[in-house]
Structure 1
């Protein structure tokens, strides 16, 4: 089974996209809670009519912001659906990436690929420290790029 090497470069980006989507959903959920807790958050003063240029009086109106609340509920459904699809896609891509990494015959390259793609996109310096003494950030980067054939 041939696995597309570019999956390794996309994996880190997909993980970040997933965490961003989770953050957006949480922000939206907090906004919904705020709207529900506060209750009457919209208020305005209106004039009751005019006699010439003078207003006859003003009234204060308060109410629940239904359009905003409904918009937030719509976003909640959208973000939930997007998250579900992203998680499914990410699980599939992680499995494919792990299969590809396991198929690499060189243990050194396998470790570098795991650190870079599966361990939350460590920096090249962090990877070099985990790899041990003779490794440098540049040597790890070059070995990775030689293996997958694209720049990351």
Structure 2
């Protein structure tokens, strides 16, 4: 929304208005100018938003790195893979189960949404 507002101000450029005054209000004056205060305010809001987003991005990258380090510290490779799919790649548990079944085809569809969730719950109950 802020970007759109700034773009509109810049595209419109100068704005004009006609005001009445002088000689008892019968004279009309055309006033033209660039809305500098509004432009500056909108631009500052946009810069501020971009800075906040960059800070949040850095924060999220740090948290992702911590999550990856924690996952790498898990002994069982099966759980590491499962947690990476869910917590890092952002797959739903049903998608995790499907991917695990493709990675381990000899286990005859050993993974489903519910048992993946249950393995996750058990791991954190035992390790927290």
TM-score normalised by structure 2 residue count: 0.71
Are residues 50 and 116 of structure 1, via their aligned partners in 2, closer, same or farther at CA, if it must alter by over 3 Å? farther
1:2-151 pair list within 5 angstroms: 28-40=2-14, 42-48=15-21, 56=26, 58-119=28-89, 121-132=90-101, 133-149=109-125
Larger radius of gyration: 2
The count of aligned residue pairs is: 118
Are residues 44 and 99 of structure 1, via their aligned partners in 2, closer, same or farther at CA, if it must alter by over 3 Å? same
Q: Deviations over 1:40-65 (max 9, x none)?
A: 2x4444333696xxx63555544322
Q: Distance in 2 between matches of 1:60 and 1:126?
A: 65
Q: Distance in 1 between matches of 2:33 and 2:69?
A: 56
Higher relative contact order (CA 8 A, sep 6+): 1
Are residues 122 and 63 of structure 1, via their aligned partners in 2, closer, same or farther at CA, if it must alter by over 3 Å? farther
Structure 1 runs not aligned, ≥5 long: 1-26
- Paired position in structure 1 for 2:106: none
Higher share of residues assigned helix:
2
RMSD: 2.6
Post-superposition, which runs of at least 4 consecutive aligned residues in structure 1 deviate over 6 A? Answer: none
Structure 2 runs not aligned, ≥5 long: 102-108
1:126 partner SS: helix
